Amino acid sequence: MTVSLLRHRGRSGDEVEELLMQIRGLVFVRAILEQRGASASELHEHRLETERLRRRLARVVADGSGGFDAAA
């Protein structure tokens, strides 16, 4: 299922777009942190958050519901 198809599915499509925006932002910020000499622990925490959002995105795309009940 593509992101464009999910857009037509309402809430999950909105969540996909939000997650993609957050992940893109984290990737961009990580590059800045690296350039500015951030500590290894800062980069590690940043990477963990990026991975957490990627896993969430995968779940949302896989189930198409974003983890919400149909009645929600």
User: Is position 21 within any domain?
Assistant: yes
Here the tokens at position 10 are: 């309402």
Domain membership of residue 13 as a residue range? 3-63
What's the confidence (pLDDT) of residue 46?
Answer: 94
Q: Is 68 among the domain residues?
A: no
Whether 33 is in a domain gets the answer: yes
Task: Name the 3-class secondary structure at 68.
Answer: coil
Mean pLDDT by 10 residues, the chain (72 residues): 51 86 96 96 96 94 61 41
Q: What is the residue-wise DSSP string for 11-71? A: HHHHHHHHHHHHHHHHHHHHHHHHHTT--HHHHHHHHHHHHHHHHHHHHHHHHSSTT--TT
Instruction: Specify the pLDDT at position 38.
Output: 96
